[in-house]
Structure 1
Amino acid sequence: MNWETICNSLSSEDRFCAPIEVSGVEYDSRRVESGDVFVAMRGESTDGNQYIETAVTKGATAVVTDSREAYAKLRHEHAKVGAALVERGRRALAEVSSAVMGHPDRELALSAVTGTNGKTTTAFLLETILRSVHRTCVLIGTIETHVGLEVRVSPHTTPESRDILEIFAAGVKVGATEAVMEMSSHALEQERVWGLSVDVAMFTNLTQDHLDYHGTMEKYFAAKARLFSGVGSPPPRVAVINDDDFWGGKRLAHSSLQSEVMRYGMDGGDYRSEDVVLRAGETTFVFKTPNGDVPIRSPLTGRVNVYNLLAASCAALARGLTLEEVVAGAASGSQVPGRFEVVPSSLGFTVVVDYAHTDDALRNLISLARDLVKKHGGRVITLFGCGGDRDKTKRPRMGKAAGEGSDLVVLTSDNPRSEDPMVIIQDALIGVRETATTFIVEEDRAGAIEIAIRAARIGDIVLIAGKGHEKVQILKGGSIPFDDVAIAADVLRGTA
């Protein structure tokens, strides 16, 4: 593609639009190849402008920068290299990437979900329902990325715009017409999704999380709410909102939305669940809508998944499916990795791995487990830890949530990152000690999993919370392989 065309489309303060052909776009100098445009932008942990020289040396034929000093130096030292000075590097990255890749985002109907809890399961469910009517999809989320039938590892919940658009382009090549994305509050605030036109936007809920980054719940909500006003694009055509959640039903739904609004809930909303029946491995309810009522059955478990099913079902209706197609699609779903994932065992008790890493998610998880064991008088054993270098105020709340709902708490390490694991554990213990529940402290997570499982009796549920689908543990010295499901399975085999 011609650099002049790209250059003239940018909202730049200054530019050198030489007649140069460009073949790709990169923001990471390590990935630059000959013919690429290098977008140098200030990030949260590093400044890409420090790597302009490296990018040019590797063959970048044009550079977009958000640094006036870097732009002046580039024009002085590399006069033949195309250049553009912009105010916002991330916006420019999105604009250049879309142009170079042929605007693949325009070929896909995008459904996006945001919220503290439920994003991953809701996204998986919506993709499953869409695929059940033979629509080819792209899925971008926390656990994995799907390009048609191809499954890829997801390094981030929401990647940078260049990487999103590359995935979209791959999807278009295999005939995809739909895209489903999780959009995190960080990505929305940092404008990693700049310019993406969202057709259906979903809001699951908002509970305290990420305050180490956002500072207050109001700012956290404001970041999430950007999805519904459009991030460099028009507002979504349809907004699907959890009417039972305060921030959704009372705040977002009553803001100046320019979208068609579909409210869902177990207690309120125009799209509701009634006659809910929860069993291990099955959830059923009547889906009541303005256009009729239908029975929904899903292999997912628990009250929280009723909300996820409602959100995905509403989004599927918004994408043109019939109620009958939604019913069939919901029934065809399968267990989502790390979301109430049952580890197979024949020992008479249940071991579940779940991503719950906030006090609200932990409380919901334990409540579900309590409902499942109460018929047989079983106990709930909860293993959890708290992440390091994250919001410290939620640690005692998580401890209290675990203690209030469990019969035994095993407190351990999660992803301590740069912090001392025992310091994190002591913070969480403050909340556990507010309850009368028996607890065990074991810093080593693998050892803690063994303790929790060996403490179980017939009829009990062991909850291994916090890491879910993750395959590594992040320590001060780096990441090590760690899989809660695999470790639990090994302990179960040794216990049998």
Structure 2
Amino acid sequence: MNWQTVCEGLSATDRYCASVEVSGVEYDSRRVRRGDVFVAMRGEATDGNRYLEAAIAKGASAVVTDSREAYERLRREHVDVGTALVERGRRALAEVSSAVMGHPERDIALCAVTGTNGKTTTAFLLEAMLRSVGRKCVLIGTIETHVGEEVRVSPHTTPESRDVLEIFADGVKAGATEAVMEMSSHALEQERVWGLPVDVAMFTNLTQDHLDYHGTMEKYFAAKARLFVGVGAPAPRVAVINGDDGFGRRLIGENRQSHLMRYGLETLSGDYRAEDVQLHAGETRFIFKTPNGDAPIRSSLTGRVNVYNLLAACCAALARGLRLDEIEAGAASGAQVPGRFEVVPSSHDLTVVVDYAHTDDALRNLISLARELVSERGGRVITLFGCGGDRDKTKRPRMGRAAGEGSDLVVLTSDNPRSEDPMMIIEEALVGVRETAVRCIVEQDRAAAIEIAIHAAKVGDIVLIAGKGHEKVQILRDGTVPFDDGAVAAGVLREIA
């Protein structure tokens, strides 16, 4: 593709349309190949403009920069390189990537889900429903990325726009017509999803998280709300919003452009509701009530929180044209979501569950579900958790309080401490635990803590290993090491057997 053609769709304040051909896009100079456009932008951690010369040395045919100084230097010293000056580097990255890759976002119907909790499960459920009627899908989320039948590792919940568009392009080549994405508040705020036309937008809930980045709940909510007005694209055609959530009700009140589908368990909160809810270990049943008919829903997912996730996915599936009977079949076909109330296989009567719960609200929901499951057999809830380092510190005592209020025994340990001292993090969480009367064991070493929690359990108890879920590493001050909660727990269970 000629650089001049790319420039036609670029919101640039100045440009030099050298007659060069471009074949790819990169924002990391280490990945640049001959013929690429290098988009240099100022980010949170570094400034891509520091690597212009390295990108050109590797063969970049054109450069987009958000620095006037860099742009003028390029015009003087590299007259054979196409150049463009932009105000917002991330927007330019999306525009250039879309043009060079042939606008794959136009050939795929996108459903996007945002919220504090439930994004991953809702995305997996919706993809399962779409696939159950023969539609090929792209899935982009926290745990993994799907391109048709191919499964890839997800380095981020929501990647940069260039990477999203490349996944979409691969999906279109594989015959995909649908895409389901988790959209994090960071990605919406930073405009990593700029220009993506969302057909169906879903909102699960909003509870305290990421205040280390957003600062206040109002700013956190404002970032999530951007999905429903469009980020460099029109507002979604359909907005699927949890009417039982306070912030969801605010979104409903502010909705002016999208067709609204309110869901919930409370009669006044949802036009799409769950009635006659039956919760059992390994099974959830309810009647999906809609303005145009009802459907019995059965899923292998467990707990009240998953009723909400199922409702969101059912509504989005309806919006994408599935019939009620197809949604019923699709919900029943949904597989276990890795690291979301994932029961560790065991040869004896000890129940050990790995879950990603890493906020006080998610931890409270998880413990409440476990309490329901053990109540009939008189068992106890043993909760192991930790708090992440270099993240919102204010939620640490809140998590401690949530764990202590619902559990019979708490094992407090390290999560991903990152650059912080693990024991300092534990001490901050311990403040909340001490506000309750629960017995608490502190063990910094997570593997040893898992062993302690499982050995403390008796038949009829549930051991909850919370915080890391699907993750396969632990991030420490000195680097990243392999660590899998499920694998460590399985090893302890084998030793006991």
TM-score by length of 2: 0.99
Counterpart residue number, 1:339 = 340
Deviation, structure 1 residue 349: 2.0
* Pairs aligned (count): 495
Counterpart residue number, 1:53 = 53
Counterpart residue number, 1:395 = 396
Deviation, structure 1 residue 346: 2.6
Tell me, in whole angstroms, the C-alpha distance in 2 between the residues paired with 1:485 and 1:266.
32
- What amino acid sits opposite 1:240 in the alignment? V
Tell me, in whole angstroms, the C-alpha distance in 2 between the residues paired with 1:9 and 1:208.
39
- Are 1:28 and 2:28 an aligned pair? yes
Deviation, structure 1 residue 478: 1.2
1:161-188 deviation line (CA, Å, top 9, x unaligned): 0000000000000100000000000000
Deviation, structure 1 residue 275: 1.0
Deviation, structure 1 residue 419: 0.2
Tell me, in whole angstroms, the C-alpha distance in 2 between the residues paired with 1:220 and 1:257.
21
Contact 1:8 1:17 in 2 (8 A): no
Pairing of 1:19-418 with structure 2 (within 5 A): 19-249=19-249, 251-267=250-266, 268-418=269-419
Tell me, in whole angstroms, the C-alpha distance in 2 between the residues paired with 1:341 and 1:252.
32
- What amino acid sits opposite 2:256 in the alignment? L
Contact 1:228 1:257 in 2 (8 A): no
Counterpart residue number, 2:423 = 422
- Segment of structure 1 superposing worse, 275-284 or 394-403: 275-284
Deviation, structure 1 residue 8: 2.6
Tell me, in whole angstroms, the C-alpha distance in 2 between the residues paired with 1:438 and 1:207.
27
Per the alignment, in what secondary structure is the counterpart of residue 253 of structure 1? helix
1:451-490 deviation line (CA, Å, top 9, x unaligned): 0001000000000000000000000111100000100000
Per the alignment, in what secondary structure is the counterpart of residue 376 of structure 1? coil
1:37-75 deviation line (CA, Å, top 9, x unaligned): 000000110100000000000000100000011111111
Contact 2:110 2:181 in 1 (8 A): yes
Tell me, in whole angstroms, the C-alpha distance in 1 between the residues paired with 2:141 and 2:156.
8
Contact 1:387 1:416 in 2 (8 A): yes
Per the alignment, in what secondary structure is the counterpart of residue 170 of structure 1? helix
Deviation, structure 1 residue 144: 0.1
Contact 1:194 1:232 in 2 (8 A): yes
Tell me, in whole angstroms, the C-alpha distance in 2 between the residues paired with 1:69 and 1:377.
70
Counterpart residue number, 1:435 = 436
- What amino acid sits opposite 1:468 in the alignment? G
Tell me, in whole angstroms, the C-alpha distance in 2 between the residues paired with 1:313 and 1:49.
45
Tell me, in whole angstroms, the C-alpha distance in 1 between the residues paired with 2:464 and 2:73.
57
Per the alignment, in what secondary structure is the counterpart of residue 21 of structure 1? coil
Tell me, in whole angstroms, the C-alpha distance in 1 between the residues paired with 2:255 and 2:309.
25
Tell me, in whole angstroms, the C-alpha distance in 2 between the residues paired with 1:343 and 1:9.
51
Tell me, in whole angstroms, the C-alpha distance in 2 between the residues paired with 1:414 and 1:74.
46
Deviation, structure 1 residue 283: 0.5
Contact 2:385 2:413 in 1 (8 A): yes
1:78-124 deviation line (CA, Å, top 9, x unaligned): 11110000000000000000000000000000000000000000000
Tell me, in whole angstroms, the C-alpha distance in 1 between the residues paired with 2:478 and 2:301.
37
**Structure 1, gaps ≥5 residues long:** none
Contact 1:10 1:92 in 2 (8 A): yes
1:127-174 deviation line (CA, Å, top 9, x unaligned): 000000000000000000000000000000000000000000000001
- What amino acid sits opposite 1:399 in the alignment? G
Contact 2:354 2:486 in 1 (8 A): yes
Tell me, in whole angstroms, the C-alpha distance in 2 between the residues paired with 1:72 and 1:4.
19
Tell me, in whole angstroms, the C-alpha distance in 1 between the residues paired with 2:448 and 2:73.
55
Deviation, structure 1 residue 347: 2.1
Tell me, in whole angstroms, the C-alpha distance in 2 between the residues paired with 1:445 and 1:30.
35
- Are 1:474 and 2:482 an aligned pair? no
Deviation, structure 1 residue 411: 0.1
Counterpart residue number, 2:457 = 456
Counterpart residue number, 1:492 = 493
**Structure 2, gaps ≥5 residues long:** none
- What amino acid sits opposite 1:51 in the alignment? Y
- What amino acid sits opposite 2:24 in the alignment? G
Per the alignment, in what secondary structure is the counterpart of residue 12 of structure 1? coil
Please identify runs of 4+ aligned residues in structure 1 that moved more than 3 A.
Answer: none
1:349-404 deviation line (CA, Å, top 9, x unaligned): 21000000000000000000000000000000000000000000000000000000
Tell me, in whole angstroms, the C-alpha distance in 1 between the residues paired with 2:63 and 2:28.
12
TM-score by length of 1: 0.99
Tell me, in whole angstroms, the C-alpha distance in 2 between the residues paired with 1:357 and 1:98.
35
Tell me, in whole angstroms, the C-alpha distance in 2 between the residues paired with 1:189 and 1:166.
21
Contact 2:9 2:99 in 1 (8 A): no
Deviation, structure 1 residue 10: 1.3
Tell me, in whole angstroms, the C-alpha distance in 1 between the residues paired with 2:166 and 2:479.
28
1:281-338 deviation line (CA, Å, top 9, x unaligned): 1100111111111110000011110000000000000000000000000000111000
Counterpart residue number, 2:4 = 4
Per the alignment, in what secondary structure is the counterpart of residue 241 of structure 2? strand
* % identical aligned pairs: 81
Per the alignment, in what secondary structure is the counterpart of residue 253 of structure 2? coil
Deviation, structure 1 residue 255: 0.5
Deviation, structure 1 residue 256: 3.8
Contact 1:342 1:350 in 2 (8 A): yes
- What amino acid sits opposite 1:2 in the alignment? N
Tell me, in whole angstroms, the C-alpha distance in 1 between the residues paired with 2:464 and 2:358.
12
Tell me, in whole angstroms, the C-alpha distance in 2 between the residues paired with 1:365 and 1:139.
25
